[in-house]
Every structure is written in structure tokens, then in C-alpha cells.
Amino acid sequence: MNEINSPLTVSGPGSQPAEEDGTDLEILQLPDEMSTFSMPSLQNVEDMSKLQDGMALLKQLDVTLKTQAKARQVKPEYIDIDHLDRANKQLIDQVLGEGEVSMVYHSTDTHAQIQESVMAGLWRVRYYNDADEVTADTVEVAYVPRLSLRHVFKQAAHRVEQQRDSIPQGVINAPPLLAEINDKVAEYRPGTENHIINLTLLPQTEADIEFLTSVLGKGPLTILSRGYGNCRITSTAVQNVWWVQYFNSQDKNILNTIEIGAIPAVAAAAHEDIQDSAERLSEILEAYL
């Protein structure tokens, strides 16, 4: 029987011929970390007996979560914890932990830092004065914190105003997008689906991106959502317009979009999250408190 010679096929990086233009194929690396829930390790029983105020607040939060979980839609509620001393606040922070979404709000009259807990839909919200002193300290139960809903666009323009004769040289494809943005801003109504403009798929030059950034301006709210890689969201100076950028674990921009509508879904909790968080908090209280 004749021997058949079969060529050996090799695949993978380095196995393919170089591109004619001298560039190499880049393969994006997927992030290898993912946030998971783990039961917090609290202080011993003797210490816990000295933290009655913090324990009472956690039980109040437990009741609020259970009520919201049974409702069709969450009505945002907040619990003031200003009155708690440092030890009791540490207990609250230890139980809630830090989740994937954090926010910074900075305007002329309001400064705040917001951190989602490991239980989605529970938010720690701290307000600061110009001297960086905490002026209010709260825990909120909501899909998104009230501050990110009520005040983000209170001073924003209702449309993009741009004269054609003031468009910089090198800007080619951005001007038609301004018309689309204005149309969608005018059409948007609360409860309707966000309109997404995927800039990554459009032929945009650096001058186009710089021009869009300039005319849209910057709003007071910046959001970082850390899941698989990072998602950075920035409010603009135009009503209901958001910059949404996705980065891989090497901090390389892999998706650049503009969203017109409500706060992007990647930064918000869903009702199922509230229900899951109600179960988790109950488990914690049963196990430790």
C-alpha cells in the first residue's frame, strides 16, 4: 500500500503569512476576572452586640428590600445614616461591600460619590462640600441613584447648536451625526428605548471625535462599570446624551458609542437584581445577626 503524505496544518499566532501592508493581526485578550458574591466575614458576636444602631439599620434595609422585591417597579428610597458613629458605619460598609458600578457627580453646587454594593440596587451615596467634608451619608434602594436621574441634565442644552462655517478642518463625518442626535433628543420620551450611535462602526477620524467631544460638552456625572473589562459612561452637556465607551482588560477602547435616552442599562440594576439582593441580605442577616 502506498504511503499517503498529508501536509501538517498549523494554526494560531505566528502561523499565518504577514500582511502585505506590514501590519500584524491583533487578537483582543478577553478579561480573565469576574466579580462574584461571597458572604462577608463580620465581627464576632461580642462586637456585634455593641453595634445595635447599625444592626437596626440593616434590618430596616432588609424590610425595604423585601417590599421593593414584591413590587412591580422599585420606587427609590433612601435611608439616612448620618447619625451613625464610625463603628456602625463600618458595619454597614462591611455588609454592603463594593460592587461593579461607581459614580462621581461634580457640579457647581453638588459633589457626590456613589458606590453600588455587592448587592445590585443598593447604593452608598455620600455628598461633600467644597472642602471635601461629608455633608450627607445615605444608603439608597433604587435601579439607579436619584441624583443620577433628577439633576444630571438640569442645566443641559436641549439641542446641539453648531454653525457650519465654524466646523474645523479635517472634520468630515461628524456633522451629519449632530442632526441625528438633535432629532433623537427631540423624540425621546421617558420609558422609550435608548437610541445608540455606534461610532466604532462609522468612518470617524480623530478630528471627528474631537469635534463631537467639543460640541457635546461634558456633564456632571461620570460612571465606571467594571464587569468583563470596563465601561466608562459620561453625561454630556446636551439633554439625555451620553458617551459610552467599552475597554478590554488592557484598557484598549473596543467600542465607542453615543446613547440618547435614559441612563445606559449597563449602569442600572434590574428588578431581578433587587429580588436577588433581597435574598442575599436576608441570608447575611440570618447567618451573622
Residue 191: CATH number of its domain: 3.30.1370.140
Q: Quick one: 55 and 115 in the same domain?
A: yes
Tell me how far apart the alpha carbons of residues 275 and 139 are, in angstroms, rounded to a whole number: 17
Q: Using alpha carbons only, give the angle 248, 249, 252 rounded to the nearest 5 degrees.
A: 45
Asked whether residue 20 is assigned to any structural domain, the reply reads no
Asked whether residue 218 is assigned to any structural domain, the reply reads yes
CB within 8 Å of 237: residues ≥ 6 apart: 155, 156, 157, 216, 217, 218, 219
Looking at residue 14, the DSSP 8-state letter turns out to be: T
Q: Quick one: 59 and 192 in the same domain?
A: no
Tell me how far apart the alpha carbons of residues 287 and 282 are, in angstroms, rounded to a whole number: 9
Tell me how far apart the alpha carbons of residues 4 and 217 are, in angstroms, rounded to a whole number: 68
Asked whether residue 143 is assigned to any structural domain, the reply reads yes
Asked whether residue 240 is assigned to any structural domain, the reply reads yes
Helical ranges in 197-257 per DSSP H: 206-216
Asked whether residue 26 is assigned to any structural domain, the reply reads no
Q: Name the band, by pLDDT with cuts 50, 70 and 90, for residue 24.
A: very low
Contact between 212 and 197 under an 8 Å Cβ cutoff? The reply is: no
Q: Quick one: 100 and 51 in the same domain?
A: yes
52-70 and 86-96 helices cross at what angle (nearest 10)? 40
3-class DSSP state of 174? helix
Q: Quick one: 54 and 147 in the same domain?
A: yes
- 55-111: per-residue pLDDT in tens? 999 999 999 999 999 998 888 899 999 999 999 999 999 999 999 999 999 998 899
Q: Quick one: 53 and 145 in the same domain?
A: yes
Q: Name the band, by pLDDT with cuts 50, 70 and 90, for residue 289.
A: low
Tell me how far apart the alpha carbons of residues 275 and 277 are, in angstroms, rounded to a whole number: 5
3-class DSSP state of 114? strand
| String of DSSP letters for 119-138 | STTEEEEEEE-TTS-EEEEE
- 141-197: per-residue pLDDT in tens? 999 999 888 789 999 999 998 766 678 888 888 999 999 999 999 999 998 999 999
Asked whether residue 5 is assigned to any structural domain, the reply reads no
Q: How many domains does the chain have?
A: 2
- Domain, as residue range, for 83: 45-151+269-288
Asked whether residue 142 is assigned to any structural domain, the reply reads yes
Q: Quick one: 91 and 229 in the same domain?
A: no
Asked whether residue 22 is assigned to any structural domain, the reply reads no
